Structure 1
Amino acid sequence: QLFGGPTYQLFGSGCGSHSEEFPPYIIDHPTDLVVRWDQPATLNCRVAGSPAPTIEWYRNGEYVETSKDNVYSQRTLLPDGSLFFLRLNQRKGQSDEGVYTCVATNHLGTASSKNASLYIAALREDFRLQPSNLLVTVGEQVLLECAPPRGHPEPTISWKKDGVPISQKVSSGKLLMVHAQRSDAGLYVCVASNQAGQRESKAALVSVLGEETVPSLGLAHWAWRSVDSQAALGCGVEGDPLPKVWWHKEHGELPWGRYENTLRIHYVTTFDSGRYICTAQNQVGTASAKASLTVQGKQLHTAFTASSMPGLGHAHGQQRDLSAQHTLLPACPGNWGRRKAVTCDWAHVTSLPCPPTSPISSGPL
């Protein structure tokens, strides 16, 4: 019984018998749909009427051809009146996107459904704004921003840290950490998603530093080992994060045998004379210190003089003295014996054996 009127027996599309005739009306209206181009889609439309109404679909006001009209069509009119797409067409001028209307007709009248829009989901590749690397100290605010690729429907934004999804709430694509902690350091990726798929931004490195961030270093005194005529110079480094350390020689190449914070020169010759520089660097600043080495080769006599000069560290345009000046003056008497290495900064005396003279270490300075 319809709204207190006479009793009708209702028929969907394709029903044969009837008791009393009545014009068609729409039971279920189609709704907006967003679908991937390579997936099937169905626009629903269920009608009633007696005699059973015929169903037609219109897209943007134009009749939609289905498989009953063309056996090669990807569109099929289902028995209940719904429109089924095996695969959506994206070709220019033939796209299935548009506004659809279901129309039911019998000899008593016509009923049209509400309009329903069909969209093919899309998501471009390029992010409109990539997240940037950030360097902050503990307690500072971290704000990572991201503008996703254009797409339909509008993609949603989430974030990953070191490859793991973050459950933290995201506002307008922005990831906010009010008070940064050391544990917040890592690689962050912005993720854009919709029905068309998922896109990931370039990774942004977030570094969280403590208060002591500027590298500082100091050179130890030269050490001598007579067994293999080895000279060694240590470079003590501090900084947060721990700085990277490397050595180089002014106006020349480093000899073989250098190791991280300690420079080792095996089988020292006059060619090893020169100024050696230790450099320490982290994300916040750089520091360097220099030490000079002079090798004098004479018959039965070898002598070193070495000194280190203050290094300068800098961070954000500032400079400060990072190492004290010190001098090593080992001397060997004219005959075989022992020599003394004196380091003024450490106020101690080390007795070292004088190495035998070898042809490779003799010659002018």
Structure 2
Amino acid sequence: MEFIKEEREEIQIEETVKHEETEEQTEMMPLKEENEELNVMQDTDLNKKHDLITGRTSFSCPQTGKTYSQKKAQKTGTRNNFTCQECGQSFYQRGNLTIHMRIHSGEKTYICKQCGNSFIRKGDLKSHMNIHTGERSYTCPHCGRSFTHRQTLTVHIRIHTGEKPFTCSLCGNCFIRIGDLKSHMRIHTGEKPYTCKQCGNCFIRIGDLKSHMKIHTGEQSYICPHCGRSFTHRQTLTVHKRIHTGEKPYTCQQCGKSFTQHGNLKVHMRIHDGEKPFTCQQCGKYFIEHGNLKVHMRIHTGEKPFTCPQCGKCFSVKGTLKSHMSVHTGEKPYVCPQCGISFTQHGSFNRHMRIHTREKPYTC
């Protein structure tokens, strides 16, 4: 079953450094342009002026003519002065570079006294504290749902507006969050940076790794009230219950076919669009689904990861192993409704049905 992730209320804070840390940075307010970002300049580069009426002292930059309220105005002539030696990212302020370096060093100087969680930025700690206080200051004007973080609300509102500002340059898919786009790009690059230390499985997203770890811990918190089956994820249970209820909330507007999962509808739409975004790098064949490409790659690699426990025969596709197991069990699940003959494999059943339908699909 396709893995379904829960909607996360907590969003990932991007590398863009917040300007909430007044202990490490001095906020500069220019007189002429409030939003102009600033960069540290030498005292000799600024012309000091004093207004006799207001009593204010101002400093004008000889390069741009802009006027600032403090001598340590910033960033007019020279941009991106401070560069990270680890990754090459540049910053307008030294303080921002200092904070960014903690990503590489792993230093987390701001510690929550209640739970011990540590953070790179002071602003991150302040936002985290809302979890303990229960404060939810930001309310959605569309549905009334409240959030602890303003940015979480901003992202949530896009669900109502349909806005998807982040677009994949390779396949054109659009996303609500930039983090979702970054994760999506790994499908194209093949990058899987999150590795399970117990079994070595690799994952595109850290959330997928966390969910996978429940397999090793045996944690199954969500139980189906209809059949008693338990699941590690609430969303997986939600989708599973649709088997019992028959609910298929996602409908194709072109052909009317309905699906239990939104992901299945998205994949189905590629049939109508003719979109095949996944390409084999060895033979150039295109596929609608990434899973189909993975299975296809085994033709080139010779990999057969599915082994019969009774005879040791190996298969490249899990479904082929399931069909093969019928040989050992004697099970014949495919029964002809016209004459009652049963078959172990669906392909054999299809061939038999042509006797009754007189269909001859192959022409000489």
After TM superposition, the score normalised by the length of structure 1 is: 0.19
Greater Rg, structure 1 or structure 2? 1
Q: Which has the higher contact order (CA 8 A, sep 6+)?
A: 1
Structure with more strand by fraction: 1
TM-score, length of structure 2 as denominator length = 0.19
Greater share of helix: 2
